Amino acid sequence: MILGLSVLAIVPARAGSKGLQGKNTRILEGKPLIQYSIEAAIQSNYIDNIVVSTDSAECIEIASKLGLDTPFTRPEHLCGDEVPSAEVIKHAIEFFQAKNKKYDLFVLLEPTSPLRTSSDIDAALELMLKQGNKSLVSVCLAEDQHPNFMFELNKSGTLKPWSNESFMPTRRQDVSPAFFLEGSVYISYIQSFIENETFCHEDTAAFIMPKFKSFEIDDIVDFYCVEAVMRNISNQ
């Protein structure tokens, strides 16, 4: 609880994954990937309850070993590649509302961001409530992949600047800062999310994450990058 507001953490982890098979239960530096997000939620000072929304028996077993009760198995119709995350979130919220367990805020913690810590979660909650916003998303500064340095391909296969009108080189120091959603933390008042069905709207705060925490694991290359970061952090 924070400032008298109750907080639910939702950890979404379906069994299927095209980019990296068995991603959520794949062992990363001695732990299943999903365990990092569950432990971050457990260690948070403000989260009142944690639910893992999954159709995976293995994920349920991991959650149980960490002391969580998984009160439902995610329905099959919410487990496909094309299912919007908003539907998964609403399903979890509605489950608790039907049990007369109502929360003010929820935090979405995707297992694909294992470098995020409980301190990041708590700092993000504090920032959002201090600023009085309805939601918050974590972002990271775009550097090499800033829009000014990117291109698209014409039908002929030739390059066209993405945002500049010419091919004149731009110094990194001269571009306006741009940020990308890096996936570590999403927070919203529950009522606001039900109304908007998104975290991103005109009343969304930004929580800036450092570059080394901004890796999301979607494929094996990402996995190796995060593995390398973790090994180097632990050796310092």
Over the stretch 127-157, which tens digit does the pLDDT of each residue have? 999 999 999 999 999 887 888 888 889 889 9
Overall pTM > 0.75 = yes
Place of tokens 């379906």: 14
Taking all residues of the chain, what is their mean pLDDT, rounded to a whole number?
92
Contact call for residues 167 and 150 (beta carbons, < 8 A): no
- The predicted structure's pLDDT at residue 236: 47
Can you read off the two tokens belonging to residue 217?
A: 């694991």
User: What tokens appear for 35 in the block?
Assistant: 């365990």
Residue range(s) in the chain whose domain bears CATH number 3.90.550.10: 7-138+181-234
The fold of 7-138+181-234 is Spore Coat Polysaccharide Biosynthesis Protein SpsA; Chain A (3.90.550)
Q: How far apart, in whole angstroms, are the C-alpha atoms of residue 221 and residue 205?
A: 30
- What is the distance between the alpha carbons of residues 177 and 162, in angstroms, rounded to a whole number? 16
